[in-house]
Amino acid sequence: MTSNAIEIKGLKKTYTGRGGAPDKVALKGIDLEIPRGSMFGLLGPNGAGKSTTINILAGLVNKTAGSAKIWGFDIDSNPRNARANIGIVPQELMFDAFFTPREMLEMQAGMYGVPKSARRTDELLKAVHLYDQADAYSRTLSGGMKRRLLVAKALVHNPPVLVLDEPTAGVDIELRQQLWDYVRDLNARGTTIVLTTHYLEEAEELCDTIAIINHGDVVCSEPTEQLLKRIDEKEIIIQVSETLETVPNELAGFKSALKAGNHLSVQINQTDANVGMVLAAVQKAGLTIKDISTNETDLEDIFLQLTSEPTRTEDTAA
């Protein structure tokens, strides 16, 4: 039995152009391995290919080439078992306005063949804080409530893999925290979580492994801690008492800039330099230090670096 929840090899998708329009290459042959039990972040700009990848796994989009397995089951040769082992929380809020949350979960469970005795409708409604609205029409629910209901709907068949496509988009901070507390608990109990999000700080905090997709290619896939070490730079901001017009000559050996008259910004490579060297140079310049602060590398820095490289002119669909 494979140790990966999802295995993708050489996955390609090309959307055929219509009316003389050129074809759209969404995926160029990506490889991904998502370990069982992980909290895996799938990041990328709009149009990078994230949603195409998820929709192929969900059986909503036909791939052009390559293979994909979910919990060891190939999506082509064993589609029924593959889909039984994954729950998808889509980006779009799709509801029948005249069904209640309870009815929606019961119907979804029936579609997956879950016997009535094994259904967890009330348990799931309580878990996503919707038990009080169990019998209200879904059209009366707020956007945040609908988002949480989609999570419950994806879990009715108790899948070992849960994919959340931009699940906290448009959700307020309190509801977002409630949702992530529940997702963390699911992961702690063994559920593999695959997350796409535009909130980079969210991915940095939650995910143990992150892959970044850009223009249909996987540009990196590695543990979050290792990814954050890719940029070994730190910004030091030094406020001095004196008003400066230029950067002192003593800092010429550093990548430095003057901000707001008395703030010096110095970028250092932590492998080759340290804060002490910078402070020594400032003191040598005869300046009085009033305050010091630092900005560490974060996921946004790495994301921008990896996705802002020039690419070929082939455009992609998301």
Domain with CATH 3.30.70.1560 in the chain: 233-296
Residues 62-90 have pLDDT tens digits of 999 999 999 999 999 999 999 999 999 98
Weakest-pLDDT range from 11-15, 28-32, 73-77, 218-222:
218-222
Q: Which structure tokens are listed for 213?
A: 């997709």
Structure pTM?
A: 0.76
Residues 282-297 have pLDDT tens digits of 999 999 999 988 776 5
Weakest-pLDDT range from 61-70, 107-116, 159-168, 169-178:
169-178
Position 218 scores a pLDDT of 93
Q: Other CB atoms closer than 10 Å to residue 12's CB: what's the count?
A: 16
9 vs 261: which has the higher pLDDT: 9
Kindly report the length of the chain: 318
Indicate whether 231 pLDDT > 90.
no
Mean pLDDT of the chain: 86
CA distance 279 to 32: 45
Q: Which structure tokens are listed for 185?
A: 């608990």
Residues whose CB is less than 8 angstroms from the CB of residue 300 and which lie 6 or more positions away in sequence, other chains included? 200, 201
Residues 80-131 have pLDDT tens digits of 999 999 999 988 777 777 899 999 999 999 999 999 999 999 999 998 889 9
Residue from 314, 247, 261 nearest 29 by CA = 314
210 Cα distance to chain centroid: 7
15 vs 308: which has the higher pLDDT: 15
The CATH H-level superfamily of 233-296 is Alpha-L RNA-binding motif (3.30.70.1560)
Q: Cα-Cα-Cα-Cα dihedral of 275, 281, 284, 288, to 10°? A: -60
Position 312 scores a pLDDT of 40
317 forms bridges with which residues in the sheet? none
Q: Which structure tokens are listed for 289?
A: 């230090």
Indicate whether 154 pLDDT > 50.
yes
DSSP assignment letter at 23: P
**DSSP per-residue letters across 208-258:** SEEEEEETTEEEEEEEHHHHHTS--EEEEEEEESS--SS--GGGTTSEEEE
DSSP assignment letter at 118: G
Only one residue has tokens 């019961």, namely 106
Q: Using N-to-C axis directions, what is the helix angle for 101-111 and 143-154, rounded to 10°?
A: 30
Q: Cα-Cα-Cα-Cα dihedral of 73, 77, 82, 88, to 10°? A: 130
CA distance 58 to 38: 19
Indicate whether 54 pLDDT > 60.
yes
Domain with CATH 3.40.50.300 in the chain: 4-85+159-228
Indicate whether 309 pLDDT > 70.
no
**CATH code, residues 4-85+159-228:** 3.40.50.300
